[in-house]
A and B are shown apart, each in its own frame.
Chain A
Amino acid sequence: MTLAEYRGRGGAEVPRDDQHVAEAAHVEKHPGPLEYAQIGSILALITGVEVAIYYLGLAHTLLVVGLMVLSATKFSMVVLWFMHLKFDHRLFSTMFILGFILALSVFTVALATVGGKLV
């Protein structure tokens, strides 16, 4: 039985909080093309900086930390703006972050126990 049928038969209203009501109205706040283009320019700039510092001849640890920070920034910007996690329902973020944390845990445990190294 669908929700519409359930309601049609006089069933009780399914409880919803304010956020769900807002979702049910199908109204989402997404950035416009100009903001997307600005984010794209920043991402391109960060990629350029990544390649530049690769050739700078920095100490290996410093290079690794710098590249990781820049990579994490690019990752976050794409996920937050292009994939709209900054604007969408928190349940979507939860789904993704749980998977990401699980992956990060497997990654860390594997490197720590088998002896792989990043730096």
Chain B
Amino acid sequence: MAQAVGTAHLETSTGLDNRKLLMWLFLGSECLFFGSLIAAYLLYRDRSVTGPYPGDLFDIPFTSVSAFVLLMSSVSMVLALAAIQRGNVRGMQIWLFTTATLGLLFLSGQAFEFTEFNHEGLSLSTNLFGTTFFVLTGFHGAHVTIGVLILLSLFTVSLQGRIQQKDSLNIELAGLYWHFVDIVWIVIFTLVYLIQP
């Protein structure tokens, strides 16, 4: 059910909005950033000389729920965009707040997981698994945190009546960033948690 939607942006020589182009360029560079971190994790995860090891710590049912929460936040994010593109400001506010809440829920889960791992004796400097795992998932968590702050900022601004249908590109850009954070977790969930040595 495709529908025509309008976006307003300044005229450019390419006909494309420079902000959106820049966002895609940024996301392309982020692929390299996370690709390097994931490669480093896969290289070093089973080269630790002391434990604990991945199989001793990972709680797959718990992480599956976290993955599901982040995935559903992507759905609510795209519904926020669909709402504002159709001029439904109230709907956008509800979905933006839902997305931010799901993001916070994911972060709470990650904080709980990190605390549990720490109690089990894994820290950033315990072994190569700990170092690469915390750096990878920590950087992802930092990206989610930035995403939540962006979403809450947009939500606050929209409550002041400063986001209308013509400003839908702002929501789309935030959405692109949020979906990227989600696809990174799709990869991490599979390569780090489900596929173990």
A-to-B contact residues, CB < 8 Å: 3-4, 14, 16, 20-24, 26-37, 39-40, 43-44, 47, 50-51, 54, 63-64, 67-68, 70-71, 74-75, 78-79, 81-84, 87, 89, 91-92, 95-100, 102-104, 106-107, 110-111, 114-118
Beyond the given pairs A26-B9, A32-B1, A32-B3, 11 more chain A to chain B contacts, judged by CB atoms under 8 angstroms and listed by A's residue number, are: A20-B15, A26-B6, A27-B5, A37-B79, A43-B75, A67-B190, A75-B187, A83-B176, A106-B39, A107-B38, A118-B195
In contact, A116 and B42 (Cβ under 8 angstroms): yes
Q: How far is the CA of A34 from the CA of B180 in the complex (A)?
A: 22
Interface membership of B43, Cβ < 8 A = yes
Q: Tell me what chain A mostly uses at the interface: helix, strand, loop, or mixed.
A: helix
In contact, A74 and B24 (Cβ under 8 angstroms): no
14 contacts between A and B (CB under 8 A): A27-B5, A30-B82, A43-B75, A51-B61, A51-B194, A64-B195, A74-B183, A75-B183, A83-B179, A92-B20, A96-B24, A102-B32, A106-B35, A118-B195
Closest residue of chain B to A71 (Cβ to Cβ) is B190
In contact, A40 and B72 (Cβ under 8 angstroms): yes
Q: Tell me what chain B mostly uses at the interface: helix, strand, loop, or mixed.
A: helix
In contact, A47 and B7 (Cβ under 8 angstroms): no
Given A78-B74, A78-B179, A24 and B11 contact (CB-CB distance below 8 Å): yes
Q: For B180, list chain A residues within 8 Å (CB).
A: 83
In contact, B6 and A27 (Cβ under 8 angstroms): yes
B-to-A contact residues, CB < 8 Å: 1-9, 11-16, 20-21, 24-25, 27-32, 34-36, 38-40, 42-44, 60-61, 64, 67-68, 71-72, 74-75, 77-79, 81-83, 85, 172, 175-176, 179-180, 182-183, 186-187, 189-191, 194-195, 197
